[in-house]
Amino acid sequence: MWPPCRGSRIPMALLWLAVCLTSVSGLLQTEEDPDSPIKNLRMEPGEKRLTWDLHGNVSGIMCFINSKFITKAINNNRYCQFQVLSSCEVKNFTVSLTKGPPFLMGIQYPLQEGNPGASAQRLDCWVHDMDFLTCSWEVGREAPSDVQYRLYRQHLWTRREQECPHYEMDDRGKHVRCHFNDVPRLEKQLQILVRGSSQSARIPCSDRTVELSEIERLNPPNITGTCNKSYSMMKWKVSSHFNRRYEYELQIQKGSDPAYTEKLQENFFELYNPGNYMARLKVKGFFRNTWSEWSAPQHFVCDVGEDVPRRDWLLSALGLLATLLVMGLAVVLCRRYSVLQKLFPPIPHMKDPTIDNLQSSKLVAWEASKASWEDCPVAEVQVLGET
Instruction: Report the distance separating Cα 207 and Cα 123, nearest Å.
Output: 7
% helix, strand, coil for the chain, step of 5: 15, 35, 45
Q: How far apart are CA 110 and CA 326, in angstroms?
A: 97
Tell me if residue 296 falls in helix, strand or coil. coil
Instruction: Give me the pLDDT at residue 187, please.
Output: 82
Q: Is the peptide bond before 297 cis (omega within 30 degrees of 0)?
A: no
Domain 2-109 coded CATH 2.60.40.3850: yes
**What is the C-alpha R_g of the chain?**
51
Q: Where are the domains of the chain?
A: 2-109, 116-215, 218-307
136 contacts 176 by C-beta, under 8 angstroms: yes
CA distance 25 to 18: 13
Architecture of domain 218-307: Sandwich (2.60)
pLDDT at 382: 60
pTM greater than the 0.75 cutoff = no
Asked, colleague to colleague, whether 2-109 and 218-307 share their fold, the answer is yes
Rounded CA-CA distance 314/197 in Å is: 76
The tens place of each residue's pLDDT in the chain, 387 residues long, gives 655 655 544 344 444 444 444 444 333 334 567 778 899 999 999 899 999 999 888 889 999 999 999 999 999 999 999 988 998 999 999 999 998 888 899 999 999 889 999 999 999 999 999 999 999 999 999 999 999 999 999 988 888 899 999 999 999 999 999 999 988 888 888 999 999 999 999 999 999 999 998 999 999 999 999 999 899 999 999 999 988 899 999 999 998 899 999 999 999 999 998 989 999 999 999 988 889 999 999 999 997 654 445 556 567 778 888 888 888 887 777 776 665 566 566 666 555 555 555 455 555 555 555 455 455 566 666 655 554
Measured CA to CA, the distance from residue 147 to residue 184 in angstroms comes to 33
The pLDDT value given to residue 17: 46
Res 145: pLDDT: 94
DSSP element (H, E) containing 66: none
Instruction: Tell whether the torsion through CA atoms of 316, 320, 325 and 326 is positive or negative.
Output: positive
Encoded amino acid at 47, one letter: E
Strands 189-197, 148-155: parallel, antiparallel or unpaired by DSSP?
antiparallel
Beta bridge partners of 94: 64, 106
| 247-251, long-range: CB < 8 A, 24+ apart | 247/283, 247/284, 247/285, 247/286, 248/221, 248/281, 248/282, 248/283, 249/281, 249/282, 249/283, 249/291, 250/279, 250/280, 250/281, 251/279, 251/280, 251/281, 251/294
For residue 203, how many C-alpha atoms fall within 13 Å in the half-sphere facing its CB? 26
Residue 262 has phi, psi (to 5 degrees) of -110, 130
Domain 116-215 has CATH 2.60.40.10: yes
Give every strand in the sheet of 79-81, ordered side by side: 38-44, 49-54, 79-81
CA 354 to mean position of chain CA atoms: 103
Separation CA 253–CA 237 (nearest Å): 21
- pLDDT value for 314: 65
DSSP label of 183: G
- How high is the pLDDT of residue 63? 96
Say how far apart CA 112 and CA 3 lie, in whole Å: 19
pLDDT at 12: 43
